[in-house]
Amino acid sequence: MRSVFLRGLSGLAGCLLLSTAALAGGHNAAEYPLRVRIYQEGGVSHYYDRSLETVDGEGRANLFENGEPRGFDFSYRCQERLRTSAGSETYPARWRKQNQTLEILLPQFGKPGAYDACELKVLMKADAVYHRHNGLLGEEPAAKYKQWMEKVQYDPEHDKNEPVETAPAPAPAQKPAGTSALQ
C-alpha cells in the first residue's frame, strides 16, 4: 500500500514539474523562421479586477519570408500589448495558417530568451510593402523595397537587422584639359 502511495505521489510531482517547465519556457525562437516588422498598431486593453486580461486591435506590417518582403494589414487579440518595431527590428514569426494567420513572438521584459505568442489575422498585400518616408507611412512596390534591402544589406531572416549604408564609389580622376589619354 505504501509503495502505491509513493508511486502516485512521484507521478504527481513529475506532472507538476513538467507542467511548470512547459509554462516557463513555452516558445523556441528557432521554430519561428519568418520575421515581421510592425509599422503601425492600435489596440484596446481589457482589464479584469485591475489586471490586464487581453488586448485587441489592428495594424500594418511587413513580412519577410524566403528573402522576399510582403506588406499586410492585421487584426489581433493577445494577452500582452503589441508594440511597433523599434527602428528596423523584427519579431520572429511562423505561419499558423498560410496567408491567413501568423504567430509572432513578443519578448518578455526582464526575462531574456522568454517570449509570449500572439496571433495575427492577416490580409496580405498583392505586391506592396509598407515603408516610412519623412515620418509618414506609405506603400511602395515590393520589388523596389527588395532592391533597397539588397543595397543596404538588410536581411532580417539572416540576422542582418540594421541597414548598412554603403559609401558611394569614388568618381574616376579626370585628366586636365589639353592632355592626351595616351601620354
Task: Tell me, yes or no, if the pTM score tops 0.85.
Answer: no
Q: At 181, is the secondary structure helix, strand, or coil?
A: coil
Residue range 68-81, pLDDT digits in tens:
999 999 999 999 88
| 111 domain-assigned | yes
Question: How open is the CA angle 159-163-166, to the nearest 5 degrees?
Answer: 125
The domain of 87 spans: 29-155
Residue range 36-64, pLDDT digits in tens:
999 999 999 999 998 889 999 999 999 99
72 CB-near residues (< 8 Å, 6+ apart): 60, 61, 62, 63, 122, 123, 124, 125
| 64 domain-assigned | yes
| 177 domain-assigned | no
Per mean pLDDT, which range of 8-17, 27-36, 133-142 is the poorest? 8-17
The predicted model gives 164-181 an average pLDDT of 64
Helices and strands in the chain, H and E counts: 2, 8
| 182 domain-assigned | no
The predicted model gives 104-108 an average pLDDT of 93
Determine the pLDDT at residue 24.
Answer: 42
84 CB-near residues (< 8 Å, 6+ apart): 38, 39, 40, 41, 59
Q: At residue 148, does pLDDT exceed 50? A: yes
| 126 domain-assigned | yes
| 7 domain-assigned | no
| 140 domain-assigned | yes
Residue range 107-132, pLDDT digits in tens:
988 998 899 999 999 999 999 999 99
| 81 domain-assigned | yes
Q: At residue 172, does pLDDT exceed 80? A: no
| Number of compact structural domains in the chain | 1
